[in-house]
């Protein structure tokens, strides 16, 4: 038998092959998970700051343009029309246990100041604290309201009793059973979100 060539490459050990496969597979899983869970870019980023019964205070970054707030409000409209399930939008049921639905009545306020979405501030607003109510309503950037089959959405403030001001631009008002207008469908970004 001839002697083995000292310059010949040895095959990789099975343990090394397995370790390399785990290493490469881990990066593939991480990349895939990040790709599938990336945020929806067709609406502005938002957070739910507080919720009291059917009232929900959301926060968008300061400097968010009105057209971006409009896209968010129209996304709420789209959900109201199609599924009425605001759970994927991070909103807890507003009418739990109601046989008519878990989100039969909902009012969503949109702010660009995270201090307005604190639970204590929302409680003072609902309690009628005059100092809080005026500033709270003036700082609203948009709203979405759904009551049974009626919905309304707009840019600007909505008063505590549901009235709108001259600073408010109503985007839509009507029944959720009516077909969605074509312009209510925002252009889809690169998200694969089902909403």
Are 82 and 163 in the same domain? yes
d(CA 132, CA 122) in angstroms, rounded, equals 9
Q: Which residues contact 110 (CB under 8 A, 6 or more apart)?
A: 46, 58, 59, 60, 69, 72, 73, 140, 141, 142, 143, 144
| Per-residue pLDDT band at 166 (split at 50, 70, 90) | confident
Helix (H) or strand (E) holding 126: helix 119-127
Are 166 and 113 in the same domain? yes
Q: What pairs with residue 51 in β-bridges?
A: 56
Q: What is the pLDDT of residue 3?
A: 62
The token duo for 185 is 């469908």
Look at residue 185 and tell me whether its pLDDT is greater than 50.
no
d(CA 76, CA 98) in angstroms, rounded, equals 20
Q: What is the pLDDT of residue 186?
A: 47
Q: Which residues contact 167 (CB under 8 A, 6 or more apart)?
A: 156, 157
Residue 191 maps to a domain: no
Q: What is the pLDDT of residue 4?
A: 63
| Per-residue pLDDT band at 97 (split at 50, 70, 90) | confident
Look at residue 98 and tell me whether its pLDDT is greater than 90.
no
If you average pLDDT over every residue of the chain, what do you get? Answer: 83
Residue given tokens 């083995």 in the structure block: 4
Q: How many CA atoms lie within 13 A of 70 on its CB side?
A: 14
Look at residue 191 and tell me whether its pLDDT is greater than 70.
no
Instruction: Name the more confident of 24 and 187.
Output: 24
Residue 59 maps to a domain: yes
Look at residue 58 and tell me whether its pLDDT is greater than 90.
yes
Residue 54 maps to a domain: yes
Q: What is the pLDDT of residue 18?
A: 92
Look at residue 193 and tell me whether its pLDDT is greater than 50.
no
Are 16 and 51 in the same domain? no
Helix (H) or strand (E) holding 59: strand 55-59
Q: What is the pLDDT of residue 106?
A: 92
| Per-residue pLDDT band at 36 (split at 50, 70, 90) | confident
Global pTM reads 0.73
Look at residue 190 and tell me whether its pLDDT is greater than 60.
no
| Strand pairing report for 47-52 and 105-111 | unpaired
**Domain encompassing residue 17:** 11-40
Q: Which residues contact 136 (CB under 8 A, 6 or more apart)?
A: 116, 121, 125
Q: What is the pLDDT of residue 59?
A: 92
Residue 51 maps to a domain: yes
Are 91 and 155 in the same domain? yes
Structural domain count of the chain? 2
Are 97 and 124 in the same domain? yes
Q: What is the pLDDT of residue 1?
A: 60
d(CA 145, CA 73) in angstroms, rounded, equals 10
Backbone angles phi, psi at 163, to 5 degrees: -80, 150
Q: What is the pLDDT of residue 19?
A: 92
């Amino acid at each position: 038998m001839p002697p083995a060539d000292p310059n010949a490459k040895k095959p990789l050990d099975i343990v090394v092959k397995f370790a390399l496969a785990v290493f490469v597979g881990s990066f593939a899983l991480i990349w895939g998970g990040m790709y599938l869970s990336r945020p929806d870019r067709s609406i502005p980023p938002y957070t739910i700051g507080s919720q009291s019964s059917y009232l929900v205070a959301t926060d968008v970054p300061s400097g968010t343009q009105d057209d971006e707030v409009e896209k968010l409000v129209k996304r709420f409209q789209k959900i109201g029309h199609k599924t009425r399930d605001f759970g994927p939008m991070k909103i807890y049921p507003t009418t739990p246990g109601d046989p008519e639905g878990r989100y039969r009545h909902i009012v969503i306020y949109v702010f660009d100041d995270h201090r307005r979405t604190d639970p204590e501030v929302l409680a003072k607003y609902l309690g009628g604290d005059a100092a809080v109510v005026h500033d709270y309503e003036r700082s609203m950037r948009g709203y979405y309201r759904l009551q049974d089959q009626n919905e309304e959405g707009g840019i600007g403030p909505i008063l505590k009793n549901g009235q709108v001001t001259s600073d408010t631009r109503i985007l839509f008002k009507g029944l959720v059973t009516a077909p969605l207008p074509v312009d209510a469908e925002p252009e889809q970004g690169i998200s694969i979100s089902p909403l």
